[in-house]
Structure 1
Amino acid sequence: MSGEGPVTSKDVPPHELEALFSDPLERLHKILERGERHLEVRRAELADARYALFELAAHPAASTVRGQVVLESLPAEVAPPLLRHLVDTTTTVVRNCALSIDIGSGTDAENIRNTQARIGEGAFRQQTIYPMDILDTEPGRAWVRSWADAGEEQRVSLVPPSEFAIFDDQAVVAVAEWANPAADYVLIRDPMVIAAFTSLFDRSFARALPITPEGHGTDDDAELVRLLELGLKDESIARYLGCSLRTVRRRVAQLMDRYGVQTRFQLGVAAARTGLVALDRSTDR
């Protein structure tokens, strides 16, 4: 139009000029990075808000003993942000007892990444008891490997006591129905109950079996007999020891020939009599 003068560099905002000469792909990366940072902040704010709402809403439905809140119902939609909050405020150790890796609040992908990152950074230690049969499937072995790579201290038990996680001495998140991983969850913050869960976990962890790295089997006959004592199937023993099923069966046959016995029960008795395994060794795995 005749009344308008020519456009000069002063009329164009600096960020628009920069955009004209920068690489479009690079600009998109920067935009995405800014968006991701914004989302992380918003997620943290929303998690805090959810936890605050939970704090306000949980107490009326809580179980009490002598006026003290013991069990607080944990709605499914609140569980992931609450677990994130507990992980982010833990400074010493998380004690985790798992019955399943397929269901439950512990399977939230974002929380898994955050927890593994904090373990890797040395923010706290995590000890976990897994069911023995987790080593029988490739998804189970992959799960164990991913947590081992993060620095988790791992053991397996034939019968883990239940499903729960203890965060320092501040809280326990547990299934509302004992040993039922499909049940709802509860939050426990009573110090005496937390201490009882901690004692149960520490005793169970001490008696559970350390997970043998894949490909690093042992030739210890006493360990083989102890695994037989626990009633493990040959397939589970092979997984645990990191050797083939044929190797397990060959070693068992050799031991039976050595002790002159016909059954595996007789093998256990003979091994105990000769001192290969201890008679008073507890098997509450």
Structure 2
Amino acid sequence: MSSDGLAAQLIRLGVGETAARTYLQMLESAPVTAEGLVCREDDAETVRLALEELADAGLAVPSGVDGAEFLPANPSEALTALTTRRQAELHDARLAVQTAYRVFRRAHSGMPNAQDLFEVVTGDAIIPRLRQLATTVRHQVRRLDSPPYFTGGRRNLLEEEQLRRGITYRCVYSGASFGNPGYLAENILPCLRAGEQARLLPELPVKLTLFDDRAATIALTIREADRNQSIVVVRPCSLFSALEGLFETSWAAALPLDRQGRMAEQPIRPIERQLLILLAAGLKDDEIAASLGVSRRTLFRYLETLMDRAGVSSRFQLGVFAAHNGWL
């Protein structure tokens, strides 16, 4: 790395410009003295402050009999401290901006708490707001999908690109989604082939999308859409938690789809069916393992395999799925 590049990195970590240059000079011709540095900087006070800054940051140490010379210190611990300090400063700055924004919202709203948690978006503002939420996703999107579609049901290129980058999409489609002309071929199937996990329910109560754990959008289904062209953005709160529960319950009850949009076959072995029957009967793990003639470890492996296949995260959801899909 060039000296200019190294100086820029030090400055990015919070080291002053003069102190960064001084540290580079130490690396080139250590030990250095304040008098020697003054000849280059032509400002004794500036040099003194730079040396103090480097010493405080752990990047320079005095040497020589009288301590008038300075050497560059091993940067490992110092850089760790600088990085930690910088992260703390960024955290404080983020909090300050968020606090200032909340003060602004309270000053311009009679319902500050509601304004912080809910946002109603209508008309032409809907599509840009949905796209803004989607483009900032980092981990996963969970969706209850039903017409009408604000984007007209066109191919979702953003989702396909995010799936290729490793973002998880789990979608439950309503029967009306498949009845929407062209939506299966132009939207659903390309997303399935890109890696979307999908399931099907005959009807859905709402149109819902959960963006990571930070925001959800709710819209009306096709039955009520002609009465209200709007979405509600919900931020983390008790309602957000309820919406997560609604999605997970719908997901557990829905029928899996394969990459061609068909009901996915779910073969199950006799021992796995017996395990589910014993589980549904309320037996304890040790009793189930004894009845099956397997160890607890093997029992847990069977359970993990079944839950992965069903796409659920709890035994209760597995039981619902098994009953709904004829595994019992």
Which TM-score band applies after superposition, normalised by the shorter structure? Answer: 0.3 to 0.5
Please report the TM-score for the alignment, with normalisation by the length of structure 2. 0.42
Highest RCO, 1 vs 2 (Cα 8 Å, sep ≥ 6)? 1
* Structure with greater Cα Rg: 2
- TM-score when normalising by structure 1: 0.48
